[in-house]
Structure 1
Amino acid sequence: MNTDPIADYLTRVRNAIKANHRVVEIPASNLKKEMTKVLFDKGYITNYKFEDTNTQGTIKIALKYNPITKIPAIRNISRVSTPGLRRYAGVDNMPRVLNGLGIAILSTSKGIMTDKEAKNLNIGGEVLCYVY
């Protein structure tokens, strides 16, 4: 049994990038689906597809690479808040990832969003991961 499904999601994406895979398949949950939508909206992945084959379903993510240099769009993706130590950020102390070039994905009362969107809505939340 998975004790931390978000860490498993991030590790599968990280491993697929290191192995230069084009597509990665991940067991689905509502939180993972929302995180995938944020990654797509911010241009870190090419495409995604939700498949409901069994009770849980899967997410197929097409990873994005530079067509000439073959460098992945996601250089680093790391977990911040863990089940043992939750990390929360208010509007005042919102994290800046790579001096504003990366994103932090937050779980807020209004749903999953980036740090910039949460700052615009003037809400804080749990910092799930950093992506750059």
Structure 2
Amino acid sequence: MKNYLWNMFANIKNGQMAKKSIILESRKTICESFLKILWDEGFISGYRIFVQNNKKIEIFLKYSRAGKPVINSLKCLSKPGQRLYYSAKQIWKLDSSKTFIVFSTNKGLKTINQCKKYKIGGEPLVVIN
């Protein structure tokens, strides 16, 4: 199920290293919810469904004025071979001011601040700096 997400993480990393402005990704609901989080937090310029093919999404990557990517690093925490899970108490111990973590919860994909607000735990998918 989450292989789509890890493929999208790799494509975003590679697209930003190659200084691309637009990348294409397969359209999945979990990918769309992750892109919505990235867009809400200002890590990408936007995304839309590809005009010629409904099964693809165009992702517009964002760069700073100096030409550096807004997403410096995208690191996967929980991997298919070794899953991590944090309870709500363990999430409170994490410092949310330095890193941005996206969790997969039973309520969908949530940021670390949303998990603290709703007092829910989950599987940390990715750390973005």
Q: Does the alignment reach a TM-score above 0.5?
A: yes
Q: How large is the RMSD of aligned CA atoms in angstroms? A: 2.0
Structure-1 residue corresponding to 2:113 = 116
Structure-2 residue corresponding to 1:7 = 6
Equivalence map 1:1-132=2 (5 Å): 4-51=3-50, 53=53, 57-67=55-65, 69-94=66-91, 96=94, 100-132=97-129
Q: Alpha-carbon deviations, 1:75-97, whole Å to 9, x = none? A: 00111111111111111112746
1-side partners of 2:23 and 2:35: how far apart?
Answer: 12
Q: Unmatched 5+ residue regions in structure 1?
A: none
2-side partners of 1:76 and 1:66: how far apart?
Answer: 14
Q: State, as a whole percentage, how many aligned pairs show the same letter.
A: 25
Q: CA deviation at 1:110?
A: 1.2
Displacement over 6 Å in runs of 4+: none
Q: Alpha-carbon deviations, 1:50-97, whole Å to 9, x = none? A: 23825xx11211111112x11111000111111111111111112746
1-side partners of 2:125 and 2:72: how far apart?
Answer: 17
1-side partners of 2:126 and 2:98: how far apart?
Answer: 14
Give the stretch that moved more between structures: 3-12 or 15-24: 3-12
2-side partners of 1:28 and 1:86: how far apart?
Answer: 24
Q: Unmatched 5+ residue regions in structure 2?
A: none
1-side partners of 2:2 and 2:33: how far apart?
Answer: 19
SS of 1:24's equivalent in the other structure is: strand
1-side partners of 2:83 and 2:28: how far apart?
Answer: 20
Q: CA deviation at 1:3?
A: 8.2
Alignment coverage as a number of residue pairs: 127
